[in-house]
Amino acid sequence: MSTLALTVNRRAVDLAAEPRTSLADVVRDHLDLTGTHLGCEHGVCGACTVLIDGVPARSCITFAAACDGATVTTIEGLDDDEIATELRAAFTREHALQCGYCTPGMLVSARDLVLRLPEADDRAIRVGMSGNLCRCTGYVGIVRAVTAVIADRRARGIAPEVGGGRTMLGPVGSGHGAAQDERRGAATRAAASPSSSLQNVAIADFTPAATIKQTFEVQHPPAQVAALFADVAAVATCLPGVALTSAEDPNRIEGEIRVQVGPIAAQFAGVARVERAADGMSGRIIGTGNDSRSRSSTQGEIRYRLLPLADGGATRVELTIGYTLTGLLAQVGRSGLVRDLARRLVDQFAANLESKLSGHAVELADADQHLNGLALLLSLIRARLPRWLGGTSRR
C-alpha cells in the first residue's frame, strides 16, 4: 500500500492505495466521486478526464501513487466554477448530450479549451476535443456549445490564459511522482518560506457565493489611477492587513491577509492572478487562500472599472467583489456582517488610495497593520445601533 496526500476538490485527503490503483478508482471507489466515468479504461475515450494541478488528464491510466501531493479536480469540484457553469448552460441549449456518459469528461476538456484558446476557432476546438469520444451526439452540438462559450467570453473582454494552468513540462502529474521524502522536504522548505508552497497552486475561475458592488471616487485622472493599479505592491500598501510575499511575476502574486475579530485571528496565505485590459481601465484579480489555524479557506475575485468624471480630472472606481468562504470563519461570519466589513474595508482603501495618489505616504497605524475586524465591527455596531434600537422600540 502507498499512502497518498491529495487535495481533491479543495479538500485535503489522506488515503492508502495499492501502487497499481488508478486515480479513477481512487476518486470513484475511495471518495465516492462517481461523476468521473469509466469507459474504455485504456486512455482512449476521455470519459474519465479530471484536472490534475489544473490540467486535464485521463484518470484511468494515471496511477494514484504518481499524483501524491497533487491537486485533483473532478467534475463535482467544478459545480461552482464559472466556466463550467457557462458550459453546462451551453451544452443544454445546444443539445450537446444525450445519454450523458461522456459529458463529465467533455466538460473538463472543454473548460481547458475555453481557458486557453484565443478565439472560437472551429478546427482548434475539434482537435482539442478529439480525445473525448461520444457515441450519441455526433459532436455538432458539443462543438457549437464550446464555440459559443469561447466567443461569448472573448466578446466580454475575458482574455485567454496562456498555458491554462500548466506550470511544468512533461506528462500531467509527473511533477508529483517523487517519493514521500521529497514531499516532506518540500513541506519543510514551505514552512521556512510560506510562499514557496503556493507556487503550484492552480487559480480556478469560480462562481462566488456572495457578491458586493461598491463605487468610490478619487480626485485624480483615470490614467493616474490606472498607473497606480498596475503597481500591485503600491495597491497592497493601501489595503489594511495585506502583505505581499512575492510579486516577481506581476501577473501572479502571493501574499497574506491578516484578520482579527476579537479573539479570532486568521492569517490567509494565498495566491492571485492579475488580469488587466490593455488600456488599464479595467481588470480582475482572482485568488484563493487558506488559514490553517481556523481551517478556513476562501476564493475571491475583484473586478474593477475606472470611469472618468469631471472632464477627466477625477475617477469613479467601480468594484465588484465576489467571494466564497468555507470553514470555521464562514460559520461565524454571517454574510451581512462580512458585507459591512467589506464595505468599510473599501472605504479605508479609497481613503488610502487618495492619499497615495496625492503623494502622501500611506501610514497604517500599528493596530491597522492587520484588518482589524474588531474595530470595524465596533464602527459597524455604532452605525447600526440606532436602527436596531428603533426597531426594538417600535416592537
Figure out which of the listed residues 4, 17, 23, 48 binds ligand FES, where binding follows CB under 6 A: 48
What are the C-alpha distances in Å from 97 to residues 74, 140, 191, 220, 381?
19, 10, 47, 52, 52
**CB of 22 within 8 A of CB of 59?**
yes
Q: Is 280 in the site for ligand FES (CB under 6 A)?
A: no
Structure-block grid coordinates of residue 338: 462580512
The helix (H) or strand (E) run that includes residue 320 is strand 314-326
Q: Which residues contact 46 (CB under 8 A, 6 or more apart)?
A: 39, 58, 102, 105, 106, 109, 131, 132, 133
CA distance 47 to 44: 9
In whole angstroms, the minimum distance from the beta carbon of 103 to ligand FES comes to 6
**Cβ distance to ligand FES smaller for residue 15 or 136:** 136
In whole angstroms, the minimum distance from the beta carbon of 70 to ligand FES comes to 17
Where in 4-43 is the site for ligand FES (CB under 6 A)? Answer: 38-41, 43
Q: Say if strands 2-8 and 71-73 run parallel, antiparallel, or are unpaired.
A: parallel
**Cβ distance to ligand FES smaller for residue 91 or 323:** 91
**Cβ distance to ligand FES smaller for residue 52 or 286:** 52
**Cβ distance to ligand FES smaller for residue 100 or 185:** 100
Residue window 93-122: x/- pattern of binding to ligand FES, with contact defined by CB under 6 A: ----xxxxxx--------------------
What are the C-alpha distances in Å from 142 to residues 82, 123, 161, 265?
18, 13, 22, 48
**Cβ distance to ligand FES smaller for residue 59 or 288:** 59
Among all chains, which residue has been given the C-alpha cell 467583489?
321
In whole angstroms, the minimum distance from the beta carbon of 48 to ligand FES comes to 3
Q: Is 250 in the site for ligand FES (CB under 6 A)?
A: no
In whole angstroms, the minimum distance from the beta carbon of 127 to ligand FES comes to 17
Residue 278 buriedness (CB in 10 A; 0-12 / 13-18 / 19+) = exposed
Q: Which residues contact 197 (CB under 8 A, 6 or more apart)?
A: 186, 187, 190, 269
CA 150 to chain centre: 19
**Cβ distance to ligand FES smaller for residue 19 or 138:** 138
CA distance 153 to 329: 33
Figure out which of the listed residues 47, 218, 342, 346 binds ligand FES, where binding follows CB under 6 A: 47
In whole angstroms, the minimum distance from the beta carbon of 135 to ligand FES comes to 4
Question: Torsions phi, psi of 312, nearest 5?
Answer: 85, 0
**Cβ distance to ligand FES smaller for residue 98 or 355:** 98
In whole angstroms, the minimum distance from the beta carbon of 24 to ligand FES comes to 7
The count of residues interacting with ligand FES (CB under 6 A) is 22
In whole angstroms, the minimum distance from the beta carbon of 61 to ligand FES comes to 6
Where in 123-152 is the site for ligand FES (CB under 6 A)? Answer: 134-137
The helix (H) or strand (E) run that includes residue 379 is helix 373-394
**Cβ distance to ligand FES smaller for residue 144 or 276:** 144
**Cβ distance to ligand FES smaller for residue 36 or 352:** 36
Figure out which of the listed residues 46, 77, 141, 222 binds ligand FES, where binding follows CB under 6 A: 46
Q: Is 158 in the site for ligand FES (CB under 6 A)?
A: no
Among all chains, which residue has been given the C-alpha cell 484563493?
288
Where in 55-94 is the site for ligand FES (CB under 6 A)? Answer: 58, 60
The contact set with ligand FES (CB under 6 A) reads 38-41, 43-48, 58, 60, 97-102, 134-137
